[in-house]
Amino acid sequence: MDKEQAPSPASHDADVETAAKISSEASLGSFAKSWPSRKKWTVMSIVAWMAFVSPLASTMIAPATLQVAAEFHFDSAVIRTFITSLFLLGYVFGSLIAAPLSDLYGRKPVLDISFLMFTIWTIAAAVAPNVQALLVFRFLAGLAASSSLSVGGGIISDCFDEHNRGGATAVFALGPVLGPVIGPLTGGYLADAMGWRWIFGVLSIITGVTSFAQIAVNRESNPDVLARRSELSESGGFYERALQTIDWTTSRNDENYHSQHLLTAVALPWKMMFSTPIVSLLCLYAAFVYGLLYLLLTTITQVFVEAYGWSLGKSGLAYLGLGVGFLLGVAMVGGTANKLAVKAARKNNGILVPEKRLQPCLWFSVLIPISFFWYGFTAAHDTHWALPICGLAPFAIGMIGVFLPIQTYLIDAAPRYAACSTAALASSRNVVGTFLPLAGPHLYNALGVDWGNFTLGVIAILLIPIPALIFKYGALLRKKSAWMATVEHA
């Protein structure tokens, strides 16, 4: 019988290297997740507040665009709409830059710098000398403000495991849906009382205080960055592996090493969006729903001023239907989504299949077309003003029932790439949110408020099968995805 062969020094070194790598990987996954709950929720609360202030700023000017047009002497409805929606175009580019940079250099420095710039551009908008300058400042403000919306997904992935992400995602999602509604509600009264420039003045104070709190209180949560600080990882972490994934040959000694890292970081959300069917389809559906929200936000004031003779300030009350609907939606979806996921995991030996996160989409998506039929025909046919306002609530509930599950699903399906996938989601929805509202006035002029909204409702019906298909075939698609097949679930 042959004697057992002693391990060679080379194989011993390989074993040590493998063990060190495993230890490093374990450390990478445990930093922020091992924090005390108070520290996790402090970090989460600040970024959730930032994610509220940012969309608040996007729509607060919406009811006052008639004042802007009067002061700067133009009468184009498209330009008035663009004053609101151009902010979202800044989101598109900002999200695709901020999220990967936060993966590469850390969440905190990206949020610190971007929100400080957001404050500066908001102050500039308050003193804009003409509409051209106002449009430029709005775009730049949106570019800077986008960071919280895209980086938030990465922070949730950093701090919470898959069984506790539902609650954190629900808190984080409150801002992007409540901010756009509270903005016009408060902006209308503020413009009536003090003029449109004070809208940006108040926003400057809010963003300035928020920026100070972010810089002073918030902490870094990115595990790769914390690992590098602790000298636990010399491999370059996540993006070193990403460079290899997309087959770029590079070495730390190459003069282009850092520029390649940066290009990789910026390219990842785009690659995920266009090379991963799951991300592409869910981004398409979420983008259309988000575009519908901004179409409503930019047209509700005009509808109620013309149909019911309301004043600029009073027309802000029309947004209450959306606001109440969003609160109901968060209570309904946020309170049940995580329970459903935990229940599904128990039935599967404690393993959570990410597609289970999409189950609420199958129920809530039908509310979106119902709301557009209801709102459109009641607003156009001389009914009591309460009917169209109530008709907006199902849309808000349905939007929450779509957005929360989709965002949580993308985080669970690829935790390592959470910031990038949520950046792709944010950018795609903001492209549609920028340009779909521009079609609103033309759509209503051509078809009327009733049949215009009916058309949008029909399109919403045609898109309902998207989350259903991912729910059924998502596991199969993930196995074929370069981004999701090999990712470890933290």
Say if CB 338 and CB 315 are below 8 A apart. no
Cβ neighbours of residue 208 closer than 8 Å, sequence gap 6 or more: 119
pLDDT per residue rounded down to tens, the chain (490 residues): 444 344 444 443 443 343 334 334 334 445 778 888 888 899 999 999 999 999 899 889 988 888 999 999 988 878 888 898 889 888 888 877 887 788 778 899 999 999 999 999 999 999 999 999 999 999 999 999 988 887 888 888 888 877 777 778 778 877 887 888 888 888 888 888 888 999 999 999 999 999 999 999 888 888 878 877 765 444 444 444 444 443 333 444 455 555 666 666 667 777 777 878 888 899 999 999 988 988 888 788 888 888 888 876 677 788 888 888 988 888 888 767 667 777 777 777 767 778 888 888 888 999 999 999 999 999 888 789 999 999 999 999 999 899 888 988 888 887 777 767 777 887 788 788 878 887 888 888 899 999 999 999 999 999 999 999 999 888 888 887 766 654 444 4
Length of the chain: 490
pLDDT at residue 259, as a whole number: 62
Name the domain count of the chain.
Answer: 1
pLDDT at residue 20, as a whole number: 38
- Predicted TM-score (pTM) above 0.85: no
pLDDT at residue 135, as a whole number: 94
pLDDT at residue 121, as a whole number: 96
Full residue range of the structural domain in which residue 265 is found: 31-479
Sort 39 into a burial class: Cβ within 10 Å, 0-12 / 13-18 / 19+: middle
Looking up tokens 């390592």 gives 416
Say if CB 161 and CB 490 are below 8 A apart. yes
Domain-located, residue 402: yes
Which phi and psi angles does 35 have, rounded to 5°?
Answer: -65, 155
pLDDT at residue 242, as a whole number: 43
Question: CB 93: neighbour CB atoms within 10 A?
Answer: 16
Domain-located, residue 11: no
pLDDT at residue 338, as a whole number: 67
Domain-located, residue 16: no
Domain-located, residue 252: yes
Domain-located, residue 262: yes
Say if CB 437 and CB 295 are below 8 A apart. yes
Q: Secondary structure of the chain in the HEC alphabet?
A: CCCCCCCCHHHHHHHHHHHHHHHHHHHHCCCHHHCCHHHHHHHHHHHHHHHHHHHHHHHCCHHHHHHHHHHHCCCCHHHHHHHHHHHHHHHHHHHHHHHHHHHHHCHHHHHHHHHHHHHHHHHHHHCCCCHHHHHHHHHHHHHHHCHHHHHHHHHHHHHCCCCCHHHHHHHHHHHHHHHHHHHHHHHHHHHHHHCCHHHHHHHHHHHHHHHHHHHHHCCCCCHHHHHHHCCCCCCCHHHHHHHHHCCCCCCCCCCCHHHHHHHHHHHHHHHHHHHCHHHHHHHHHHHHHHHHHHHHHHHHHHHHHHHHCCCHHHHHHHHHHHHHHHHHHHHHHHHHHHHHHHHHHHCCCCCCCHHHHHHHHHHHCCHHHHHHHHHHHHHHCCCCCHHHHHHHHHHHHHHHHHHHHHHHHHHHHCHHHHHHHHHHHHHHHHHHHHHHHHHHHHHHHHHHHHHHHHHHHHHHHHHCHHHHHHHHHHHHHHHCCCCCCCCCCC
Looking up tokens 């209570």 gives 331
pLDDT at residue 149, as a whole number: 82
Domain-located, residue 21: no
Report the CATH number at residue 211. Answer: 1.20.1250.20
Domain-located, residue 236: yes
Cβ neighbours of residue 435 closer than 8 Å, sequence gap 6 or more: 85, 291
Q: Which of 92, 96, 444, 430 is nearest to 293 (CA)?
A: 430
pLDDT at residue 150, as a whole number: 79
pLDDT at residue 11, as a whole number: 40
pLDDT at residue 380, as a whole number: 85
Domain-located, residue 46: yes
Question: CB 13: neighbour CB atoms within 10 A?
Answer: 11
